Chains A and B, each alone.
Chain A
Amino acid sequence: MKIIVPLENKSLDAPVCPSFGRTPLFVLFDTEKETEEFLNNEAAASQGGAGIKAAQMLVDNGAKAVITYRLGENAAQVLNAANIEIYKAQDGTVKDNIEKFKEGKLSLLTEIHPGFHNHGGGGK
């Protein structure tokens, strides 16, 4: 199964990026093959709708689950339409989160925020 996580640099030891739509990078991790692939987030520079574009890329790359701190409502609509599971990230590295996901210790993300629409949203 392929899962995807937003992160700030190309290392599984990096923390999960607090932003979904405007994260600089995603890592696509294959839990069966234990392989990873880093994807640049082209949506990060969008004027608007970054979450939608990022979600589209996740779907196109065959991800079945996402681990993120938070998600805007538009991105959630895209991921839901594609039946992608959305999990709430926990503090720690991307690697920690992937391990917890494999052990079934992550809970589903239930809080969907209405989107920042270019009005900030710095911390997590």
Chain B
Amino acid sequence: MRIAVLSGKGGTGKTFVSVNLACAAEKAVYVDCDVEEPNGHLFLKPCITECTSVKVIVPKVDPAKCIGCRTCVGFCKYNALAYIKDRVMIFNELCHSCNGCILLCPQKALKQTEREIGLIEEGSSDNVSVLTGKLNTGEVSGVPIIKGLMKKLPSHGTTIIDCPPGSACVVMESIRKADFCVLVAEPTLFGEHNLSMVYDLVKLFDKPFGVVLNKCLEEENPSEQFCKKNNINILTKIPFDENLGKLNSEGLIVVREIKSYHELFRKLLEVI
């Protein structure tokens, strides 16, 4: 079963829930799709066995063949091309690798070249196989790396997909192949708002889902109220616990340190 863990904003506890779910399973694959700032590896400290470069296709112009017809400039919806002083200018970071400019060039003056935008690391940490996507600093879109990670998902066994924050393209790509979505939410009004965003997203994708209420206090919990109002299944509640913060700050994995939390995450896996 593939379980995607997501939330409307960063710092809610996606990585905390993902890493601990993976470690609470007998055997699991942990996939870090938060490619802009992957941090699951800080806890799992995997021994890296393989590292693959992720490349995208971008056009390259042969100025000798170009006649300045501007077909490519006019075609590109992302404005990745300009034609200035008898030369095509290409803005690689805006290119979405659709290949359209190359196909349409009547002079065949454009050809494909590859450009590295990041990498995928594979390794293991005890019972957990770890896949980490890393986007190079300054790159605009992590989608190609997430697509690369999705190709490496095993077909069976427990897989935990640690998603990027928010509800944009990178998150959609990360949950596309998931069988179940875990929405992690904080007990604040801001947390409720962010929960509503990912709630809309998983409904749109028609995915089975449930909520983990994190950092719960005695006081009222707007995210819990949101769940009740919308008949959303609350999978578990994790208390606001200083010990968790301390262990996290030391890069330790809670289920490997505290028995009661091991129980909590085992049960969470069973519920899912």
Bound-complex Cα distance A82 to B80 (A)? 17
Q: A56 in the interface, Cβ–Cβ < 8 Å? A: yes
Q: Measured between alpha carbons, how far is A47 from B83 in the docked complex, in Å?
A: 19
A81 & B79 in contact (Cβ 8 Å cutoff):
no
B47 near A: Cβ within 8 Å? no
**What's the Cα separation between A83 and B85 when bound, in Å?**
9
Judge whether B140 is part of the interface by a CB distance below 8 angstroms. yes
Contact partner, B82, options A46, A48, A50, A52, Cβ 8 Å: A52
Contact B85 A49 (CB under 8 A): no
Number of interface residues of A (CB under 8 A): 18
A-B pairs with beta carbons under 8 A, tally = 45
| Distance between B141 CB and nearest chain A CB, rounded to angstroms | 10
The contact string, 1 if C-beta is below 8 Å from chain A, for chain B 68-81, is: 00000100111110
B44: shortest Cβ distance to chain A, in Å? 31
CA distance A81 to B81 in the complex (A): 13
Say if the beta carbon of B271 comes within 8 Å of chain A.
Answer: no
Number of interface residues of B (CB under 8 A): 15
Neighbour of B91 across the interface among A52, A59, A82, CB < 8 A: A52
By a CB distance below 8 angstroms, the chain B residues around A48 are: 78-79, 94
Within 8 A of B (CB), among A36-81: 43, 46-50, 52-53, 55-56, 59, 74, 77-78, 81
A117 contacts chain B at the CB level, 8 A cutoff: yes
Q: Inside 8 A of A74's CB, which chain B residues have their CB? A: 91, 94
- In the complex, chain A residues whose CB is within 8 Å of the CB of B84: 56, 59, 78, 81-82
**Nearest Cβ on chain A to B202's Cβ, whole angstroms:** 24
B140 touches A46 (CB 8 A): no
- Chain A stretch 20-45: residues in CB contact (< 8 A) with chain B: 43
In this assembly, does B232 line the interface, its C-beta being within 8 Å of a C-beta of chain A? Answer: no
Helix, strand, loop or mixed for chain A's interface? helix
B164 vs chain A, min Cβ distance (A): 15
A52 touches B140 (CB 8 A): no
Interface flag for B51 (CB, 8 Å):
no
Nearest residue, chain B, Cβ from A60: B83
Question: Do A49 and B91 contact each other (CB < 8 Å), given the known contacts A56-B73, A117-B140?
Answer: yes
B89 at the A/B interface (Cβ < 8 Å)?
yes
Least Cβ distance of A49 to chain B in Å?
3
Say yes or no: A49 contacts B80, CB within 8 Å: yes
Bitwise interface map of A from 110 to 124 toward B, beta carbon under 8 Å scored 1, else 0: 000000010000000
Let me know if A49 and B89 touch, CB within 8 A.
no
Q: Select from chain B the residue with minimum beta-carbon distance to A84.
A: B84
Q: Is the CB of B94 within 8 A of A78?
A: no
4 shortest A-B CB distances, which residue pairs? A49-B79, A53-B79, A81-B84, A52-B79
- Known contacts A47-B78, A49-B94, A52-B94, then 12 further A-B pairs from the complex at CB < 8 Å, ordered by chain A residue: A46-B78, A46-B79, A48-B79, A48-B94, A49-B79, A49-B80, A53-B82, A55-B82, A56-B82, A56-B83, A81-B82, A82-B85
Of the A-B pairs whose beta carbons lie under 8 Å apart in the complex, a sample of 6, sorted by A's number, is A47-B77, A47-B78, A49-B76, A53-B79, A59-B84, A81-B84
